Structure 1
Amino acid sequence: MAGPVRPPRVSARRRRPGVIALSLALIAGGGAGVAVLLLQVGHRTEVVRVVRDVQVGQVLTQDDLGKASIALDPAVRAVPAEDLMSVVGKRAAVELMPGSLLAPSQVTKDALVKAGEQLVSIGLEAEQVPASELVPGQRVALVHVPAAGAPEAGKTSDVVPRTLDGRVVKASGAAPGTGVVVVDVATAASDGPTAAAWEAAGALRLVLAAVDGG
């Protein structure tokens, strides 16, 4: 009588060192790729930010500025953090608000009121304020118009109203209650007293010039 049949022996597969090494390399390489991808997605840039209010024309100090690390959109222009000291000592070309990023176009090395110019403040009633925002650098014309009640008021004339060239340096917000907006306008030094006299007499109006300054 034949003895019991033994099941065939199944030998364990031999582990090949080369295959193991290759597998580890692929895992490591995949991990590195993921790490690089995460770094690219979360890439942050050190830029300059404003830490306190700075008025138009004010000279920037180191205390006005700080640094921020952000994921910056390529379309956003901001001063790199390493260039912070390069903007210290320059003037604010626009009003700067705390928490905002500082753009290169927001500072200037030039004085906002240049040599040979004078600054005239003009108060505009709510109905006289242009719908377009008044911004520093905007070219304007200061137009002389007869004040209400003046002898020449209401008279028709073919004479072109006298005008003076000017440039907006700063425009305030509307005053609570009155809505009056005060606009600082730089004019030629020879025109400053005339513009001031027109303003005092209530005979001055501000007209925006063409965008190209013409």
Structure 2
Amino acid sequence: MSKTKERTTAPAPHAVPQQTQTVGPVAPPRVSARRRRPGVIALSLALIGAGGVGGAVLLLQVSDRTDLVTVARDVQVGQVLTEQDLGKASVALDPAVKAVRADDVDSVVGKRAAVELKPGSLLAPAQVTRDSLVKAGEQLVPIGLKPEQVPATALVPGQKVQLVHVPAQRAADPGKESGADGPQSIAGRVVKVSKAAPGAGVVVVDVATTADDGPTVAAWLSADALRLVLDAPENN
């Protein structure tokens, strides 16, 4: 009988025995808790509080606004105000400022502008009047002033002036005769002043005089013998 040699496989000298792997739950990484900073927390609370105070102040400012009457377009002196001439705006009003409230707009509609009104401005009670700028017994005389005759002091409605007769040499006085004390003058009151005409620069001033003096002033004007003189402020 033949002998069969049994072949045996010797284990490798560096072989690592196989280990059975077990699968289980993976633990999450450990996160260390952050250190609280009291200073940062206090600063955050302060900022939040400041924001609340600022909002409260803003709310109070908005709530203090008042609806006031504004001028919507140009209004000339003596012109009757209509609803289309006026507007409304919500304004934080200083108590020292006098302005017509929006609730009282009906009290100014139908009145006359005592001064020239410009769009965008607040309407003050003193800027309107029920009275005609030309009173009973007066006449309105338009006087054209050349650039060299216009006073440097701005002419405004209500300002008192003197209409002085300055006849040419040897010219007859078309009105009353001049006295020995000097040239004749007639008292007047400015009602309206136009803007300077383009090119010529002539300014037209509407002056109210008495009905008796109106024809005399017109005669002086036609003879180019009239000058307008401002009264001193203490006489206004």
TM-score range, shorter chain: 0.7 to 0.9
CA deviation map 1:96-141 (0-9, x unaligned): 1222221112111110001000000000111111111100000011
Partner of 1:209: 231
Alignment of 1:1-214 (within 5 A): 31=52, 34-42=54-62, 43-147=64-168, 151=171, 158-213=180-235
Aligned-partner Cα distance in 2 for 1:165–1:175? 26
- Counterpart amino acid of 1:207? V
After superposition, the Cα gap between the structure-2 partners of 1:41 and 1:164, relative to the gap in structure 1 and judged at 3 Å, is: same
CA deviation map 1:42-76 (0-9, x unaligned): 43221101112211111111121111112334443
Is there any run of 5+ residues in structure 1 with no aligned partner, and where? Answer: 1-26
The worse-fitting range, judged by mean Cα deviation, of 112-121 and 73-82 is 73-82
Aligned-partner Cα distance in 1 for 2:201–2:67? 40
- Secondary structure of 1:142 counterpart: strand
Aligned-partner Cα distance in 2 for 1:84–1:44? 17
Aligned-partner Cα distance in 2 for 1:141–1:163? 6
Normalized against structure 1, the TM-score is what?
0.77
Aligned-partner Cα distance in 1 for 2:222–2:181? 23
- Secondary structure of 1:133 counterpart: coil
CA deviation map 1:159-191 (0-9, x unaligned): 311111100000111111111110000001111
After superposition, the Cα gap between the structure-2 partners of 1:81 and 1:150, relative to the gap in structure 1 and judged at 3 Å, is: farther
Higher radius of gyration, 1 or 2: 2
Aligned residues: 184
The percentage of counterpart residues that share the same residue type is: 67
Is there any run of 5+ residues in structure 2 with no aligned partner, and where? Answer: 1-47, 174-178
The worse-fitting range, judged by mean Cα deviation, of 64-73 and 120-129 is 64-73
- Counterpart amino acid of 2:171? P
After superposition, the Cα gap between the structure-2 partners of 1:159 and 1:47, relative to the gap in structure 1 and judged at 3 Å, is: same
Normalized against structure 2, the TM-score is what?
0.70
